[in-house]
Amino acid sequence: MGDAITSQILNFLILQTIPTAIDVDVGIHQHFIGQLILSNNSLSKVPDEIRQFNHLSFVDLRFNHIRSVASGSFKFPMNNVKIPGKVDLSFNRIKTVEQGAFQGKYLMISLNHNRLIRFDSKVFKSVLQDMSRDNRSQGINIEQSILFDKFIYLLINFLFYLFMVSFVIRSCRLRH
């Protein structure tokens, strides 16, 4: 097994899904890939095909068009691999992360530079508990992610409404 492929790099290919040709390129060794780099493509969701790679410990999905992370998208460790996972979802368009999206043990989850609506503690509770027990953990990164919750959204809309009302009142006064 010395010449087995351990990384598959498919970045800058403008992929919208993982091609079935990956089976041809990687062949029987696809199950032993530890790193899957799918950055700089046009993926609009976390590909379901990721689950076919049984030994993944690192998934790079940076610079895609992913809008949400669905329940069950990631589960580490995969199969019998004892290595906690690292997932990089930075520089996407992620607004929501569903409960159960990240299952298992992680060293790092990066959601930097996204459009998060909120950081829901229920979604990350078990992952954060496991991370707190591992001194190698790098945590969950959400730097430069816009965190809008409903209150802020309503506040912005209310302020805009007040501005529009005052504008209309001023316009009416100027006409008279």
pLDDT for position 125: 87
Let me know whether 124 and 38 are in one domain: yes
| Domain count across the chain | 2
Let me know whether 133 and 166 are in one domain: no
The rounded Cα 24 to chain-centroid distance in angstroms is 27
Judge whether 111 lies within some domain.
yes
Digit-coded pLDDT (tens) for 72-81: 999 876 555 5
Write the Ramachandran bin of 104: left for phi over 0, alpha for psi from -120 to 50, otherwise beta.
Answer: left
Let me know whether 16 and 81 are in one domain: yes
pLDDT for position 45: 94
Digit-coded pLDDT (tens) for 47-65: 988 877 777 888 999 999 9
Residue type at 15?
L
Let me know whether 128 and 88 are in one domain: yes
pLDDT band at residue 169 under the 50/70/90 scheme: confident
pLDDT for position 44: 94
Backbone phi and psi for residue 94, each to the nearest 5 degrees, phi listed first? -65, 125
pLDDT band at residue 152 under the 50/70/90 scheme: low
pLDDT for position 134: 81
Judge whether 2 lies within some domain.
no
Q: What is the DSSP string of the chain?
A: -TT---EEE-TTS--SS--TTHHHHHGGGGGG--EEE--SS--SS--GGGGG-TT--EEE--SS---EE-TTSEEES-TT--SPEEEE--SS---EE-TTSEEE-EEEEE--S---S---HHHHHHHHHHHHT-TT--EEE-TT-----HHHHHHHHHHHHHHHHHHHHHHHHHH-
Judge whether 23 lies within some domain.
yes
pLDDT band at residue 8 under the 50/70/90 scheme: low
Distance CA 5, CA 106 (A): 23
pLDDT for position 51: 77
Range with lowest mean pLDDT among 13-22, 27-36, 125-134: 13-22
pTM beyond cutoff 0.85: no
* CATH for 84: 3.80.10.10
Let me know how long the chain is.
176
pLDDT for position 5: 45
